[in-house]
């Protein structure tokens, strides 16, 4: 049997770029705004086809988001694309005020999030973005897991009225969503039924969670697997059901465990259905230098790490 991590890998940036070009061909309101990141945002094809609809502000992220808000105020649908670490850290005030508080129709695309720039170290890791942005009212926060979901999220973002932040993975990932999958904001995706323990995962690590579920099944552990594409709005109902119907929840994310998916799950069960929770991600520290896959393994955000967390919840460790 082919396991999750043995499937062909894809760069979600290719899907994002192709989808944006297709959308722009049918909607002249769509424009792109970048911070000297045409290449890393995979927007060379967009620039070639629509040279008058891409604004390159240079290395000026605060200006970039402000310009995006201005274009939205003028009736455009701006996709503001930059490395997630710089987009969210340098322009957080503009995201809060110009996009969210003003409720301008800005689409923020965080490229290469998490620890995708692994060898460049802590300055380029974007592990705090989910925690920061989840705390901002009126901003949707979405983390696609594979190319199929990435395409659907970008199409939804273009049609949705309001500010949106989307993580677009640089680290190649396998297909994990079913062929008939339809993205619905605020809805978790049940990838596997299970009655012993639940794994809730988001983004690049959903495939690792699927691998963990396969390993657990071989040990006689029944894992319910939830992919959680929208950190905000959050699928409270799915998490409450998991807390009620299984013996605990393990969360997995390519982010800090302080305030991201793990925080959202913990807050939910405390308020609605108390249950044991184990959070897998980067602890309260600056992640070191290393490849993205090595860093995930280092912090136990792996099939083996999730399996061990499941065992621990079930008292089998």
Residue of 6, 61, 211, 219 marked active site: 61
Which of 75, 73, 81, 1 has the alpha carbon at shortest distance from 41?
81
Q: Cis (ω within 30 of 0) for the bond into 240?
A: no
List the beta strands (DSSP E) in the chain.
Answer: 9-10, 30-34, 54-56, 77-83, 107-111, 140-142, 164-168, 173-174, 189-192, 197-201, 223-227, 230-232, 249-256, 277-282
Which of 254, 281, 290 has the alpha carbon at shortest distance from 118?
290
Question: Does residue 61 carry a catalytic annotation?
Answer: yes
CA distance linking residue 207 with residue 225, whole number of Å = 11
List the beta strands (DSSP E) in 177-247.
Answer: 189-192, 197-201, 223-227, 230-232
User: Under a CB-based contact definition with an 8 Å cutoff, are residues 29 and 75 in contact?
Assistant: yes
Q: Which residues are catalytic?
A: 61
């Amino acid at each position: 049997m082919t396991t999750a991590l043995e499937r062909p890998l894809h760069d979600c940036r290719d899907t994002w770029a192709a989808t944006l070009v297709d959308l722009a061909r049918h909607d002249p309101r769509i424009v792109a705004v970048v911070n000297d990141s045409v290449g890393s945002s995979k927007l060379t094809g967009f620039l070639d086809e629509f040279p008058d609809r891409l604004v390159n502000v240079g290395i000026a992220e605060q200006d970039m988001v402000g310009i995006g808000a201005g274009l939205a105020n003028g009736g455009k649908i701006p996709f503001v694309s930059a490395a997630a670490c710089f987009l969210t850290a340098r322009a957080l005030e503009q995201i809060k005020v110009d996009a969210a508080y003003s409720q301008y129709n800005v689409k923020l695309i965080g490229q290469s999030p998490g620890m995708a720039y692994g060898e460049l170290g802590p300055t380029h890791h974007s592990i705090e973005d989910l925690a920061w942005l989840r705390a901002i009212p009126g901003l949707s926060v979405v983390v696609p897991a594979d190319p199929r979901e990435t395409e659907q999220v970008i199409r939804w973002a273009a049609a949705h009225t309001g500010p949106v932040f989307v993580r677009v993975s640089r680290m190649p990932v396998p297909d994990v969503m079913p062929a008939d999958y339809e993205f619905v904001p605020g809805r978790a995706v049940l990838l596997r039924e299970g009655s012993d323990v639940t794994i809730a995962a988001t983004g690049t690590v959903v495939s690792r969670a699927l691998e963990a579920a396969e390993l657990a099944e071989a040990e006689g552990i029944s894992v319910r697997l939830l992919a959680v594409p929208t950190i905000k709005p959050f699928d409270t109902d799915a998490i409450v059901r998991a807390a009620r119907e299984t013996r605990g929840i393990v969360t997995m994310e390519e982010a800090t465990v302080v305030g991201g998916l793990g925080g959202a799950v913990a807050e939910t069960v405390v308020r609605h259905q108390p249950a044991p929770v184990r959070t897998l991600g980067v602890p309260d520290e600056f992640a070191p230098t290393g490849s993205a896959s090595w860093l995930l393994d280092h912090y136990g955000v792996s099939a083996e790490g999730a399996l061990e967390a499941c065992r621990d919840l079930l008292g089998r460790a």
